[in-house]
């Protein structure tokens, strides 16, 4: 295991938020390695399912740019685990210098990570984690999903813990690290309170998915039968808002909403009173990932885990920072 020597996480600079496509592409000219010191990196992204993911993709593309000495081969798998594993195998076959993966799900990575290890290609995990042995990857950089869930759950416990409260959950992609860990953190925080989870279903981290799942909950329980929504990300919360409004309810009042991400649209909904509390999940991980790649290729010791800095926001706090947010 690599020694832990890196410390701290710095907040990153502003980046434009631009939507990205789901197919594979390359930011390099001919995609070939360069003998002039250029580092060829394959990046396997999950897809473009949310505003958070778009900001994350732009952060990675900017950090792994030609100007910074990289030749980036980019692939977004449209949230298809098999397609993402195939992309990583393609990177290995192309002989890249390093591979960065934002794993769609935690399981199923052993074989391809062993193939990368046998090819002497280091792997950096970005954003999400895997269940494979940690000797199959060099390092991970991302957000503390369990802590995010705990922070959201603690707000719910503080706000509703002494009152009988009917909770529904909009889960992220089944089997993904953020969905698993945010659920664990939230559940631990509300344990022993009067909050009752009456239903939970995946909305795949998408706005449309959140809307459809919330529509089903509303048909089943009615506006009066749901007090609180915990959405694993802002996009699903925004979809839930549409569903609640279509059902004649007032989001943020009739049904309270707590979510995770703090992307611009989510923060605007918080300022507007349609979401009640948001926990940040910082998507700007590119610079840290790029530095890890350089350090690993230089045989330098690195932390096995590097965490980004996350905040949380009430309505008043969101109003103060909304205009200055980089994503």
Q: Does residue 316 lie within any of the structural domains? A: no
Tokens of 220: 């089943």
What is the predicted pLDDT for the residue at 29? 35
Question: 151 falls in which pLDDT band (50, 70, 90)?
Answer: very high
Exposure string for 247-285, b = 16+ CB within 10 A, e = fewer: bebebbeebbbbbbbbbbbbbbbbbeebbbbbbbbbbbb
What is the predicted pLDDT for the residue at 2? 37
Instruction: Please tell me whether residues 32 and 112 are part of one structural domain.
Output: yes
Look at the block and give the residue holding tokens 């989001």.
Answer: 251
Instruction: Please tell me whether residues 168 and 259 are part of one structural domain.
Output: yes
Look at the block and give the residue holding tokens 């197919």.
Answer: 23
Q: What is the pLDDT of residues 257-267, one digit of tens each?
A: 999 999 999 99
Tally of structural domains, the chain: 2
Does residue 3 register a pLDDT over 60?
A: no
Residue 89, domain CATH: 3.40.50.2300
Does residue 18 register a pLDDT over 50?
A: no
Higher pLDDT, 36 or 13: 36
Q: Does residue 321 lie within any of the structural domains? A: no
Does residue 309 register a pLDDT over 60?
A: yes
Instruction: Please tell me whether residues 33 and 157 are part of one structural domain.
Output: no
The side-by-side arrangement of strands in the sheet containing 277-280 is: 195-202, 165-171, 228-231, 256-261, 277-280, 312-313
What is the predicted pLDDT for the residue at 326? 87
Query: Of 233, 214, 327, 315, which is closest to residue 269 (Cα–Cα)?
Result: 315
Q: What is the pLDDT of residues 67-103, one digit of tens each?
A: 999 999 999 999 999 999 999 999 999 999 999 999 9
Does residue 221 register a pLDDT over 70?
A: yes
User: How far apart are alpha carbons 52 and 169 in whole angstroms?
Assistant: 19
Q: Does residue 100 lie within any of the structural domains? A: yes
Instruction: Please tell me whether residues 153 and 269 are part of one structural domain.
Output: yes
What is the predicted pLDDT for the residue at 36? 59
Instruction: Please tell me whether residues 153 and 138 are part of one structural domain.
Output: no
DSSP assigned state of 309: P
Q: Does residue 1 lie within any of the structural domains? A: no
Instruction: Please tell me whether residues 122 and 229 are part of one structural domain.
Output: no
What is the predicted pLDDT for the residue at 35? 42
Instruction: Please tell me whether residues 83 and 104 are part of one structural domain.
Output: yes
Termini Cα distance of the chain: 35
What is the predicted pLDDT for the residue at 14? 33
Instruction: Please tell me whether residues 190 and 235 are part of one structural domain.
Output: yes
Instruction: Please tell me whether residues 149 and 268 are part of one structural domain.
Output: yes
In this prediction, residues 307-326 reach a mean pLDDT of: 95
Instruction: Please tell me whether residues 227 and 239 are part of one structural domain.
Output: yes
Range of the domain at 289: 25-143+282-310
User: How far apart are alpha carbons 141 and 279 in whole angstroms?
Assistant: 18
User: How far apart are alpha carbons 209 and 222 in whole angstroms?
Assistant: 19
Instruction: Please tell me whether residues 169 and 130 are part of one structural domain.
Output: no
Q: What is the pLDDT of residues 239-262, one digit of tens each?
A: 999 999 999 999 999 999 999 999
Q: Does residue 210 lie within any of the structural domains? A: yes
Q: Does residue 323 lie within any of the structural domains? A: no
What is the predicted pLDDT for the residue at 298? 97
State percent of the chain over pLDDT 90. Answer: 87
In this prediction, residues 290-314 reach a mean pLDDT of: 96
Q: Which segments of 91-194 are extended strands (E)?
A: 98-101, 123-126, 139-142, 165-171
Q: Does residue 29 lie within any of the structural domains? A: yes
Query: Of 244, 195, 196, 237, which is closest to residue 216 (Cα–Cα)?
Result: 244
Q: Is 230 helix (H, G, I), strand (E, B) or coil?
A: strand
Instruction: Please tell me whether residues 165 and 230 are part of one structural domain.
Output: yes
Q: Does residue 20 lie within any of the structural domains? A: no
């Amino acid at each position: 295991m690599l020694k832990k020597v890196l410390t701290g996480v710095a907040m990153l600079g502003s980046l434009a938020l631009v939507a990205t496509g789901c197919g594979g592409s390359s930011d390099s000219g001919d995609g070939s390695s360069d003998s002039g010191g250029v580092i060829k990196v394959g990046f396997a992204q999950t897809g473009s399912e949310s505003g958070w993911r778009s900001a994350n993709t732009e952060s990675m593309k900017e950090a792994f740019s030609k100007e910074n000495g990289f030749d980036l081969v980019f692939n977004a798998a449209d949230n298809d685990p098999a397609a993402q594993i195939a992309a990583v195998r393609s990177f290995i076959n192309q002989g890249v210098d390093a591979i960065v993966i934002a794993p769609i799900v935690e399981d199923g990575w052993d074989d391809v990570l062993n193939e990368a290890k046998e090819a002497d290609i280091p792997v950096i995990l970005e954003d999400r984690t895997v269940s494979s042995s940690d000797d199959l990857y060099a390092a991970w950089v991302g957000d503390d999903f369990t802590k995010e869930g705990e922070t959201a759950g603690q707000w719910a416990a503080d706000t509703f813990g002494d009152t009988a409260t009917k909770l529904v959950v909009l889960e992220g992609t089944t089997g993904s690290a953020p969905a698993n860990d945010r659920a664990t953190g939230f559940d631990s925080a509300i344990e022993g309170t009067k909050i009752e989870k009456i239903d939970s279903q995946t909305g795949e981290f998408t706005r449309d998915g959140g809307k459809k799942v919330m529509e089903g909950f509303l048909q089943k329980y009615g506006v009066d039968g749901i007090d609180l929504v915990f959405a694993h990300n802002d996009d699903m919360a925004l979809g839930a808002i549409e569903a609640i409004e279509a059902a004649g309810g007032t989001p943020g009042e009739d049904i309270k909403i707590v979510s995770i991400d703090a992307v611009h649209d989510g923060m605007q909904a918080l300022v507007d009173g349609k979401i009640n509390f948001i926990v940040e999940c910082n998507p700007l991980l590119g610079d840290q990932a790029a530095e890890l790649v350089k350090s690993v290729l230089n045989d330098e010791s690195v932390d096995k885990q590097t965490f980004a800095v996350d905040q949380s926001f009430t309505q008043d706090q969101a109003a103060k920072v909304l205009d200055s947010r980089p994503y």
